[in-house]
Amino acid sequence: MSDAARYSAPRPWSALILRVLLWFVLIVFAIWFLLPAYVVVGTSLKDLDEIRGGSLLALPHELNFSAWRHAWSEACIGVECTGLKPYFWNSVSMALPGVVVSTLLGALTGYALTKWKFKGANLVFALILFGCFVPFQVVILPMAQTLGKIGITNTVYGLILVHSVYGLAFTTLFFRNYYVTIPDELVRAATIDGAGFFTIFHRIILPLSPPIIVVSVIWQFTQIWNDFLFGASFTTGGAQPITVAMNNLVNTTTGVKQYNVDMAAALITAAPTLLVYIFAGRYFVRGLTAGSVKG
């Protein structure tokens, strides 16, 4: 046997050992990262007596969903004992329009900056890109003044505006980098045929955009749903989103600390974004890499 054939021959035992070691490491890390989630879910399904007398890692003796019902519709948040239900729908009413508006405006802006270039387009894009690095804390005061002047302070509409404006920099960045990869010849040919700005956008650009639309929707939904600072700064009482309501619930002291209710509230709050990444996470990665070839 030649030296080349000998060195290229398979080594089944060494490959098997490496594969076993790889799986062992992956399983250890998976257990390490999933252990807190296991504790949260398990605690939410136990009653208080079982939590006090048992181990955090022990399975519930029986499935008890009373903590979930209490967190959803009976828990006292401040002076109201309505549970998380109204605040959950506040977040839904805030997140869905905010995602749609910021995604649509980001698509239009990215399209204009790549296919209808004008003098100073690169400067405009640089200024928009700068908005991605502006911390939340910097815009709280001017945002509060703006919301007060237009009369939508302490409303869901105010939060929709705030998140749409703040998210526009990110969605523009996503769409601009994706649209750079689309050949300019398509736009030129449509222009010669008499198509205008919005016709080309609707008939040509949007049908090619599903991968980056998925990225924008997942990113914006996650950012808006998980936001705490804007919700705590611009709303009070019944207009607050679920993240602020959950914080208030956990920090509300009404006698005995109900750890099972707190864990159930945390899971209810995290469920929408968790489900989004479970069912659409792979499309998020595909969409990000789709615009990485050119630009």
- Per-domain residue ranges of the chain: 12-64, 85-290
pLDDT of 94 reads 95
pLDDT of 159 reads 94
Averages of pLDDT over runs of 10 residues in the chain (295 residues) are: 52 80 94 91 89 82 88 80 90 95 94 87 87 86 92 92 92 92 88 88 91 92 94 90 91 76 93 88 72 51
> Is 279 buried (19+), middle (13-18) or exposed (0-12) by CB count in 10 A?
exposed
- C-alpha 23: how far from its chain's center? 30
CATH of domain 85-290: 1.10.3720.10
Closest CA to 227 of 280, 130, 158, 151: 158
CA dist 190 and 252 (Å) reads 61
Structure tokens at 129: 């890109």
pLDDT of 290 reads 65
Please give the C-alpha separations between residue 199 and each of 113, 184, 187, in angstroms, as whole numbers.
16, 15, 10
pLDDT of 284 reads 74
CA dist 11 and 19 (Å) reads 12
pLDDT of 295 reads 44
Instruction: Give the helix ranges, DSSP H, for 81-120.
Output: 85-115
Letter for the amino acid at 203? Answer: R
Structure tokens at 125: 């894009």
Q: Which segments of the chain are extended strands (E)? A: none
CA dist 113 and 104 (Å) reads 14
pLDDT of 193 reads 85
